[in-house]
Amino acid sequence: MSREIKRIGVLTSGGDAPGMNACVRAVVRTATNHGIECVGIRRGWSGLINSDFVPLNGNSVAHIINKGGTILYTARCAEFMNPEGRAKAINTCKLLGLDSIVAIGGDGTFRGALALSRQIAESGQKLSVVGVPATIDNDIGCSNYTIGFDSACNTAIEAIDKLRDTMQSHERCSVVEVMGRHAGFLALYVGISVGATAVLIPERELDFQNDVVEKIRRARLAGTTHFMIVVAEGVGKAYDIAKRIEEEVGIDPRVTVLGHIQRGGAPTARDRETASRMGYRAVQVLLEDTGNRVIGTRGGDILDIEMEEALNMVKPLQMYRYEVLENLTQGARFRT
């Protein structure tokens, strides 16, 4: 079943992720090809409350597929979490004549979209919303992959490779904190890719003696004179880990917190291509009139899932990746 759509609002919300612009471009150009107008809502849900918008067309999204960040800006909005704030957003939807919204972001973005749609439905009107997962944390339960993850991993890997050069020259230990919020996807993926001595992730209870101290000792006995410890921010502060290493091993670690550098830079090919397919699918879902949905990936395919069901899904970390790390580094007593 298809429906007539006149005007789509598109926004980016929460933490920015490389590839968001590619997704915005895909939504706008797909909609334009179907004769649908697009309105860019700036600064996420805050922009919908404050009527902060810009008209978009196929030409206005030219040359943004390679740009990091988001041309629509992004923000977190506490006011949108209450019915009064959403009522203001509903007035903006009425003013602009929006009958659909594509919300690009993470779990909080989707929950906001669903709450808005339900509140509008209570008034007897309809607003279809589609969520597109974009977060470097890769922690959206309904999707194997989220826009921005690959770019963030590559940024962290490039930085750590450079750190390794100087750590090797000075025969030192480096403790690197990467982002990921409460998930260890980014840390583990990066840790395997750089051949880290140890990777600390929130999904695995930390045994400091076995997970850090003994791995450094085994590496030293195998002939390694420099050590790379990757810490997910959900585990704790890298400075605290470094202090314990100094106390228990007697070496003087250097700490690097990569921070928001992981969110910046041009998106990789994977993020540009995935974002383009997701944005295209988001418009197709709206045209099919299948209700509020979240776009996701599974086995390389793009799919869509009912939004409430999607929000209840949990994605466990694939712990076999940790086994890979163990066997390729100190678990087998090799030099990193």
Catalytic residues: 137
Element at 41 (helix H, strand E): strand 37-41
Residue listed under structure tokens 């963030």? 152
249 pairs with which residues across the strands? none
Nearest one of 159, 75, 80, 163 to 117, comparing CA atoms:
80
**How many residues in the chain?**
336
The CA distance from 200 to 164, in Å, is 18
Nearest to 133 by CA among 308, 319, 317, 311: 311
Q: State which amino acid sits at residue 81.
A: M
From CA 86, how far away is CA 92, in angstroms rounded?
Answer: 10
Q: Residue 125: phi, psi to the nearest 5?
A: -105, 180
Cα 116 to Cα 96: distance, rounded to the nearest angstrom: 16
Of residues 120, 96, 90, 72, the one with CA closest to residue 6:
96
Could you tell me which residues come within 8 angstroms of residue 328 by beta carbon, excluding any fewer than 6 positions away?
192, 195, 334
Using CA atoms, how far residue 224 sits from 44, 102, 196, 221, in Å, is: 48, 51, 12, 7
